[in-house]
Amino acid sequence: MKQWTLGVIGGSGLYELDGLRNRRRLSIESPWGAPSDELIAGELEGVRLVFLPRHGRGHRIPPGELNARANIDVLKRAGCTDVLSVSAVGSLREELPPGTFVVADQYIDRTVSRPASFFGSGLVAHVSMADPVCPRLSAAAADAARAAGAPTVEGGTYLAMEGPQFSTRAESHLYRSWGCSVIGMTAMPEARLAREAELPYANVCMVTDYDCWREATAHVEVTNVLEVLLSNADTARQMIAALALGLPEVRAPSPIDTGLDQAIITDPALWAPERVEKLAAICPRKFKPAADA
């Protein structure tokens, strides 16, 4: 068995993952509340894999109500070493038509109502988000997407909007003027929280439509998006299998694995016990409940 345990967060259209050996359901409690659904664990191409449907099976949870803290927490508790996010997005660029897979490497966060950190009063930390994704996992995901037959673009800026409504035309043109490549509703604060949890994170964005900036195209409707989603989801499953197959036997350490070593600013003597208790799974190297200290 390879040394990786790959967490996969499936986005719109990707609610199940086929081909897992020794498949089992995991129900893991989190001090941050309920995750989107049970985890599905197993082995795929020699890699331990843990799958979480971001919106729950059947797409029950809207973007603004996702408990991203609980989702990342339970993946860490399940032993994940790295996280691959798969999400549906709209295109803000002519050269990124529906069906394209974009491996995002930057974000602009326009969400407004979502808890964005595991830290807070009683224990303060500031992680670096200058480079918000893991370059080696992103490169491996891009190679896997190409192997699965998807037109693939490496790099691009993801505009994270609050939703659940789609953009106005004025907003869409604004985001294009900012240099954004794709637009979605789920990658933030997910990427921020993965970094706080010391989980290398990559985001493969499946383009389903052109956002409403494109005058020659009808404005976005869910019925149109669903047609592309089905095709994209099949390709995404092949991509995940190709990624697992292509990962090396030995997982070399990543600087992200110890990112909190340079982030925590509160004097350890003043750490709030209740905050330490909740952070125990996020960084067990540093945070231990009082009973285990």
Strand runs labelled E in the chain: 5-10, 21-26, 39-44, 47-53, 82-91, 101-104, 106-110, 152-154, 157-161, 182-184, 201-210
Contacts of 39 (CB under 8 A, 6+ apart): 25, 26, 27, 28, 50, 51, 52, 74, 75, 78
User: Which residues are known catalytic residues?
Assistant: 209, 211
Minimal CA–CA distance to 198: which of 116, 287, 118, 81? Answer: 81
Burial bucket for residue 76 (CB in 10 Å: 0-12, 13-18, 19+): buried
- Asked if residue 88 lies in contact with residue 49, where contact means CB atoms within 8 angstroms, the answer is no
Burial of 243 (0-12, 13-18, 19+ CB in 10 A): buried
